[in-house]
C-alpha cells in the first residue's frame, strides 16, 4: 500500500514549522554574527586596499616628479662621478625649491654602478645619511636598476623612496632617488576611510629620537611617530597599552573606552622595506553602533526561537529520521555522479533504501539507480571514444611536429607565399639569413631583371601552363651581400584548402665561389699569384697562332734546393714570391709571366726582336739577382737566377721546340756560373748531352725494373800479410738495349743528374743482401764492400733502410762495408756523419775511397767512423819508380794506422808493386794483379784466394 508523503506532511506539519522556526532563529543568529564579523573583515580589507592604493598613487606621483626633476639643466649636465664637486650644491638648490613646492624631503643621484653622485635632504627627518645611502644601495642590489622601483625607509620617521632610471645629456645612464614622508598618506587615509591611522616605531632611549614624552608608549616599547587626529588617537593608544599587549591588540574583542567600542587592526606595508626599524601601522575604528545592533539582534533571536526549538526537537528526530536519511542517501549518490563514482553511488542507495511502504522516495531511489547505471555505461563508452580520439590526436600531433622539425632543420630555404608573392610562412633557415622585416618575396631580389624574369615565369605557373617553376636568382642578404640561390616553385593547398605557392631554394653561393676559385687556380700559381703551366701554354699558343716574332724566357733559381735545405721551405717560398714580384715590375703589359714548377719561371714576349732581347735579358738578370731577409737569424741571404731565351720563330715554330731550346739556353747560362743569361745557340753540343742523358735515364729506369741490364761484379781485396782475400768490392755494370756495355763514368753521373742514383743504390744494396744470404746457406761466408753515392748518404732514412735489409735477409752487419768516395759532393756533411755513426754503432764497417786527393781527406779521418782507407790509384801507379810517392804512401799509412784504421791500395798491377806495398806497411791490395772484376763470385769463393796475374 502506497502511503503518500502529503499525509506524512500533515502529520508532521506542526513539527516542521517548529523546526523551520528553530532553524530560522539559528540562521538569524549565525547571520547576525557572521555579518558583524564579515563587516569587520571587510573593513580590514578595505583599510589595507586604501593604504596600498595611497602608496601606489604616491609612488606614481613621486616617479613623475623624479622624471620632471631629471630634465633640469643642472642634473642633465652631470657626467658620472666626475661631477661630484658641483652636483651636491645644485641638488641642494633644487631640493629647497622642491621641498617647498612638492614636499620632497630627499633627492639623490646615483650612477648605474650604484655609486652616489650627490644628494640633498631634510636634516630633521633624515638624521643618519649613511643609513639612507646603505638602504638605497641595498635596494639597487636587490632589484634591477634599469626598472623604476620604490621602497619604504623608516628612521626618525617613515618615508617612501622612489628610484627612477634616466639618461644624462651626454647619453650616459644614471639613477635619481626621491623620497617624501608618508605623513600626508596617513591624513588622506583618515579622509578616505573615516578611521584613524597611527604609525608606531620602536622606541630607543636616545635623545635625538624623543621629541616629547607624550609620544612614548613604554609598555609597548614604541614611539608614536604620526597619527590622524593625533591628540585623540594618542590618548586612546595610551589607554590601550595598559590593557592589551601590542602583539595581541588586533586579536582582542572591541575595547570599551568612554562609552565607545573600538577595534584595532594592523596594516601591512606591501612595499619593499630597506633598512631602518620596522613600523607598526594601527587603525582605530569606532564600532559602538554596530556592536550594540548585533547584541540586540542576538538577544531577540534567541528569545524568539528558544521555546519552539526545545518543543519540536524530540518529535523532529523521531518522525523525520528515516525519510531524511533516505533523502540524504539519494543526495549523496547524486553528488557522487559528477565524480564518476557509479559503483559507490549504487551502494549508498542500496544501503539506505529499505522501506515497509513504497512512496515517492522509493520511486526517486529507483530513478536514481537507473540514471546511475545509464551514466556508468555512457561514461565507459565516452571513455573508449575519448581514448581513440586522443590516439588520433597524438598521431596527428606527432606528424605535424615531425614535419615542422623536418622543415626547420632542413638546409633548404622554404617559403610559403600567396599568388601575390606575399610571404605567409618561412622556415628557420630563411628567417636566419633573411631576418629583416619584409613581407613580399619580391623584395629580396638583387636586380630588377631577375625579378622580371621570375614574375613572367610565375604567371605561367599561376595559369597552369607549367607544373613546376625552377629558376636561379641573386638575393640580397641582411648584410648587403649577394647570395646565389636555385629556387623551385609549385602550387599546393594549405590547411584551409586554399592554393598557395611552395617555394624551396638551395644556396649556391659557396659553389659559385668554389667554381671561381677553381677557375683561378686552373690558370694561376697559388703561391706567387702569377700564371701557371696552363697559362704559359695558352699564352705561348696565342703568340704562335699569330705567327709573329717574339721570344720565350726560362728562369731557374741557382742552388734553390740548398736554400730550402739550409733555411727551410718558408724562406724558399719567400724567394719565389720576391722573384715573381720583380717579374711583374720588369715586363710589359703585353708580356705574360708564369711559374712552371718549383723554381722555374717563364716569360712569353710577343713582338720581341732579336736586337732588343740581349738588353732585356741583361736588365732582367740584374733585377732578379737579389737578397732575402731572414728575420729569425737577423741576416740576409743572396740568390741568383740563370736566364735562358729562345726566339720565335728562329729557334722553333712549335711549343715543344721552343721549350727545349729555351731550357737548353738556361742550362748554358748555368754553366757560366750563377746569375748569368744566355740566348739559345744551335751550335752548342748541350742538346746532344741532354738527349744522351735522357736516353740513359730511360735505360736506367727500364733496367731497375728488369733483370737483364744491370749486373753485379765482384773484385777481391787481398790481405797482404796473410795472402788471402779479406773481402770483395761490389762494382755495378750496365748494358744498353743492344747488349753493349755502358761505362760507369757515363751512366753514374747521368743517374745523379736525373735523380735516379738513390734508386740505383737501393737496388744494389738489396741484390747484395740477397746474394750474401743465398751464399751463406751454401756454406760460403764473406764480406762485401758497396759504393754509396752522396745523395743516398745524406738521406735521413738511409741507416733505417740498411738495418731493415740486414734484418730481413739475416745478414751479419760486420760482413757489410759501406764505401764513400772522398771526392763526392756532400752538401750536408753533418747528416752523412750521423748516418755513418749510426751504421757503425750497429756493426757496419765504413771505408773511405780515393784518399789523398783533395784538401778534406785529413778532416774526414778525424770525424768519420772509418775502418778502411783506400789510397788513391795515382799514388800506386809506378810506385817502384817514384821515391816521392813511396814516401807519401808510407807517411799516409802510418798516419791512418795511428787513427786505428787500415789502408787499401788500389790499381795494383804487378808483383813488384805488391812487394813494395808490403814493405811500406800497406795492409790490403786491390787491382788487376790481385783479381779482375767478375760476376762469377762462386768461382773465387771456391778457391778462397786471388787469381794473381
pLDDT tens column, 914-928: 999 999 999 999 999
How far apart CA 576 and CA 596 sit, in angstroms, is: 12
Q: Is the pLDDT of residue 189 over 70?
A: yes
**Centroid of chain to Cα 378:** 60
pLDDT for the residue 83: 45
Rounded to whole angstroms, the Cα distance separating 616 from 586 reads 9
| Residue 207 pLDDT exceeds 50 | no
Decide: pTM greater than 0.95.
no
Encode pLDDT of 850-859 as tens digits. 877 654 456 6
- Determine what percent of the chain is predicted with pLDDT higher than 90: 14
Per-residue DSSP letter, 446? S
Which residues have a Cβ under 8 Å from the Cβ of 910 and sit 6 or more positions away? Answer: 929
Task: Inform me whether the pLDDT recorded for 393 exceeds 90.
Answer: no
β-sheet bridge partners, residue 176: 109, 164
**246-249: Cβ within 8 A, 24+ apart:** 246/200, 246/219, 246/220, 246/222, 246/280, 249/282
Mode of pairing for the β-strands spanning 550-557 and 641-648: antiparallel
Q: Where is average pLDDT lowest: 190-204, 710-724, 796-810, 811-825?
A: 811-825
Paired sense of beta strands 468-476 and 482-493, if any: antiparallel
Residue pair 805/844 in contact by the 8 Å Cβ criterion? no
Highest mean pLDDT of the ranges 418-432, 505-519, 728-742, 932-946: 728-742
pLDDT in tens, 350-369: 766 666 667 777 777 788 88
* DSSP-derived 3-state class of residue 817: strand
Least confident stretch, 79-83, 243-247, 874-878, 906-910? 79-83
Neighbour order of strands in the sheet with 216-217 = 216-217, 222-227, 196-202, 280-286, 261-267, 255-256
The mean of the pLDDT values for the chain is: 81
Residue 406 has pLDDT above 70, yes or no: no
pLDDT at 205: 63
- The pLDDT value recorded for residue 5 is 44
- Per-residue pLDDT reduced to its tens digit, 790-845: 888 888 899 999 999 999 999 999 999 999 874 445 667 788 889 999 999 999 99
Please confirm whether the linkage preceding 649 is cis (ω < 30° from 0): yes
Q: Give pLDDT, residue 664.
A: 84
Residue 689, pLDDT score: 64
Q: Between the ranges 37-41, 305-309, 711-715, where is the mean pLDDT highest?
A: 711-715
The residues facing 605 across adjacent strands are 551
Q: Is the pLDDT of residue 900 over 80?
A: yes
pLDDT at 855: 45
Contact 554, 662 (CB under 8 A): yes
pLDDT value, residue 1: 46
Cα–Cα distance, 811 to 816 (Å, whole number): 8
Q: Could you read off the pLDDT of 310-332 as tens digits, one per residue?
A: 666 666 555 566 666 777 777 77
Q: Cβ contacts of residue 118 below 8 Å, gap of 6+?
A: 78, 83, 84, 87, 88, 90, 91, 108, 109
Cβ proximity of 274 and 136 under 8 Å: yes
Q: Say yes or no to pLDDT of 523 above 60.
A: yes
Provide the total of helices (H) and of strands (E) in the chain, helices listed first: 28, 33
Least confident window among 523-527, 616-620, 785-789 = 523-527
Amino acid at each position: 500500500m502506497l502511503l503518500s508523503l502529503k499525509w506524512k506532511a500533515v502529520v508532521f506539519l506542526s513539527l516542521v514549522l517548529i523546526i523551520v522556526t528553530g532553524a530560522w532563529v539559528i540562521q538569524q543568529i549565525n547571520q547576525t554574527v557572521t555579518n558583524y564579523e564579515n563587516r569587520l573583515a571587510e573593513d580590514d580589507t578595505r583599510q589595507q586596499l586604501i593604504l596600498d592604493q595611497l602608496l601606489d598613487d604616491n609612488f606614481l606621483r613621486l616617479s613623475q616628479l623624479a622624471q620632471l626633476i631629471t630634465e633640469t639643466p643642472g642634473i642633465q649636465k652631470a657626467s658620472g662621478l666626475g661631477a661630484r664637486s658641483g652636483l651636491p650644491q645644485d641638488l641642494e638648490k633644487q631640493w629647497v625649491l622642491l621641498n617647498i613646492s612638492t614636499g620632497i624631503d630627499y633627492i639623490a643621484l646615483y650612477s648605474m654602478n650604484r655609486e652616489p653622485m650627490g644628494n640633498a635632504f631634510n636634516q630633521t627627518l633624515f638624521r643618519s645619511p649613511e643609513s639612507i645611502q646603505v638602504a638605497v644601495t641595498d635596494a639597487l642590489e636587490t632589484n634591477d636598476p634599469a626598472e623604476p622601483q620604490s621602497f619604504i625607509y623608516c628612521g626618525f620617521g617613515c618615508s617612501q623612496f622612489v628610484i627612477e632610471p634616466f639618461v644624462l645629456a651626454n647619453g650616459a645612464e644614471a639613477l635619481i632617488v626621491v623620497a617624501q614622508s608618508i605623513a600626508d598618506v596617513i591624513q588622506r587615509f583618515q579622509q578616505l576611510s573615516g578611521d584613524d591611522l597611527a604609525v608606531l616605531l620602536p622606541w630607543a632611549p636616545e635623545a635625538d629620537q624623543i621629541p616629547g614624552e607624550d609620544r612614548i608608549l613604554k609598555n609597548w616599547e614604541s614611539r608614536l611617530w604620526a597619527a590622524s587626529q593625533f591628540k585623540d588617537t594618542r590618548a586612546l593608544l595610551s589607554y590601550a597599552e595598559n590593557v592589551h599587549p601590542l602583539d595581541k591588540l588586533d586579536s582582542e574583542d572591541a575595547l570599551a573606552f568612554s562609552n565607545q567600542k573600538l577595534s584595532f587592526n594592523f596594516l601591512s606595508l606591501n612595499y619593499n622595506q630597506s633598512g631602518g626599524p620596522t613600523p607598526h601601522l594601527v587603525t582605530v575604528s569606532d564600532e559602538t553602533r554596530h556592536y550594540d545592533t548585533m547584541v540586540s539582534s542576538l538577544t531577540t533571536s534567541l528569545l524568539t526561537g528558544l521555546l519552539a526549538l526545545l518543543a519540536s526537537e524530540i518529535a523532529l528526530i523521531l518522525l523525520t529520521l528515516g525519510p531524511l536519511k533516505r533523502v540524504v542517501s539519494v543526495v549523496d549518490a547524486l553528488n557522487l555522479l559528477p565524480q564518476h563514482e557509479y559503483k559507490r553511488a549504487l551502494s549508498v542507495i542500496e544501503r539506505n533504501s529499505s522501506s515497509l511502504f513504497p512512496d515517492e522516495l522509493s520511486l526517486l531511489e529507483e530513478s536514481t539507480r537507473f540514471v546511475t547505471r545509464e551514466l556508468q555505461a555512457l561514461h565507459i563508452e565516452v571513455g573508449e571514444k575519448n581514448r581513440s580520439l586522443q590516439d588520433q590526436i597524438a598521431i596527428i600531433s606527432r606528424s605535424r611536429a615531425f614535419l615542422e622539425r623536418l622543415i626547420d632543420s632542413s638546409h633548404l630555404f622554404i617559403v610559403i607565399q600567396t599568388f601575390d608573392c606575399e610571404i605567409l610562412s618561412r622556415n628557420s633557415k630563411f628567417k636566419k639569413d633573411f631576418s629583416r622585416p619584409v613581407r613580399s618575396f619580391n623584395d629580396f631580389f638583387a636586380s630588377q631583371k631577375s625579378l622580371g624574369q621570375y614574375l613572367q615565369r610565375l604567371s605561367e605557373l599561376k595559369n597552369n601552363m607549367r607544373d613546376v617553376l625552377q629558376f636561379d636568382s641573386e638575393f640580397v642578404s641582411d648584410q648587403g651581400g649577394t647570395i646565389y640561390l636555385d629556387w623551385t616553385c609549385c602550387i599546393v593547398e594549405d590547411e584551409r584548402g586554399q592554393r598557395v605557392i611552395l617555394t624551396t631554394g638551395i644556396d649556391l653561393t659557396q659553389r659559385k665561389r668554389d667554381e671561381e676559385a677553381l677557375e683561378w687556380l686552373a690558370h694561376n700559381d697559388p703561391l706567387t699569384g702569377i700564371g701557371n703551366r696552363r697559362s704559359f701554354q695558352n699564352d705561348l699558343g696565342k703568340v704562335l697562332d699569330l705567327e709573329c716574332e717574339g721570344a720565350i724566357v726560362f728562369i731557374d733559381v741557382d742552388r734553390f734546393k740548398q736554400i730550402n735545405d739550409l733555411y727551410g721551405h718558408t724562406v724558399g717560398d719567400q724567394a719565389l714570391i720576391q722573384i715573381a714580384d720583380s717579374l711583374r715590375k720588369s715586363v710589359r703589359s703585353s708580356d705574360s709571366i708564369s711559374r712552371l714548377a718549383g723554381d722555374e719561371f717563364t716569360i712569353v714576349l710577343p713582338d720581341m726582336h732579336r736586337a732588343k732581347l740581349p738588353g732585356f735579358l741583361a736588365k732582367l738578370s740584374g733585377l732578379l739577382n737579389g737578397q732575402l731577409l731572414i728575420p729569425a737569424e737577423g741576416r740576409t741571404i743572396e740568390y741568383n737566377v740563370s736566364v735562358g731565351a729562345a726566339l720565335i720563330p728562329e729557334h722553333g715554330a712549335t711549343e715543344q721546340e721552343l721549350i727545349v731550346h729555351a731550357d737548353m739556353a738556361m742550362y748554358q747560362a748555368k754553366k757560366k756560373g750563377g746569375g748569368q743569361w744566355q740566348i739559345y745557340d744551335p751550335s752548342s753540343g748541350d742538346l746532344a748531352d741532354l738527349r744522351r742523358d735522357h736516353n740513359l735515364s730511360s735505360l736506367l729506369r727500364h733496367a731497375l725494373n728488369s733483370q737483364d741490364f744491370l749486373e753485379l761484379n765482384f773484385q777481391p781485396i787481398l790481405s797482404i800479410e796473410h795472402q788471402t782475400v779479406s773481402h770483395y768490392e761490389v762494382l755495378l755494370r750496365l748494358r744498353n738495349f743492344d747488349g753493349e756495355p755502358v761505362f760507369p763514368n757515363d751512366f753514374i753521373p747521368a743517374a745523379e743528374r736525373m735523380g735516379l742514383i738513390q734508386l740505383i743504390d737501393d737496388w744494389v744494396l738489396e741484390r747484395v743482401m740477397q746474394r750474401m744470404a743465398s751464399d751463406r746457406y751454401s756454406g760460403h761466408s764473406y764480406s762485401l764492400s758497396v759504393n754509396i753515392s752522396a745523395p743516398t748518404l745524406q738521406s735521413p732514412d738511409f741507416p733505417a733502410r740498411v738495418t731493415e735489409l740486414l734484418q730481413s735477409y739475416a745478414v751479419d752487419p760486420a760482413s757489410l762495408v759501406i764505401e764513400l768516395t772522398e771526392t763526392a759532393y756532400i752538401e750536408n756533411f753533418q747528416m752523412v756523419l750521423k748516418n755513418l755513426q749510426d751504421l757503425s754503432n750497429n756493426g757496419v764497417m765504413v771505408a773511405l775511397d780515393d784518399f789523398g786527393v783533395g784538401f778534406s781527406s785529413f778532416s774526414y779521418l778525424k770525424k768519420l767512423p772509418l775502418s778502411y782507407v783506400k789510397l788513391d790509384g795515382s799514388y800506386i801507379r809506378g810506385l817502384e819508380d817514384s821515391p816521392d810517392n813511396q814516401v807519401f804512401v808510407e807517411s799516409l799509412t802510418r798516419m791512418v794506422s795511428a787513427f786505428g784504421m787500415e789502408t787499401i791500395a788500389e790499381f795494383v798491377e804487378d808483383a813488384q808493386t805488391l812487394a813494395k806495398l808490403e814493405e811500406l806497411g800497406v795492409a790490403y791490395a786491390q787491382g788487376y794483379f790481385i783479381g779482375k772484376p767478375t760476376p762469377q763470385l762462386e768461382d773465387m769463393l771456391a778457391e778462397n784466394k786471388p787469381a794473381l796475374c
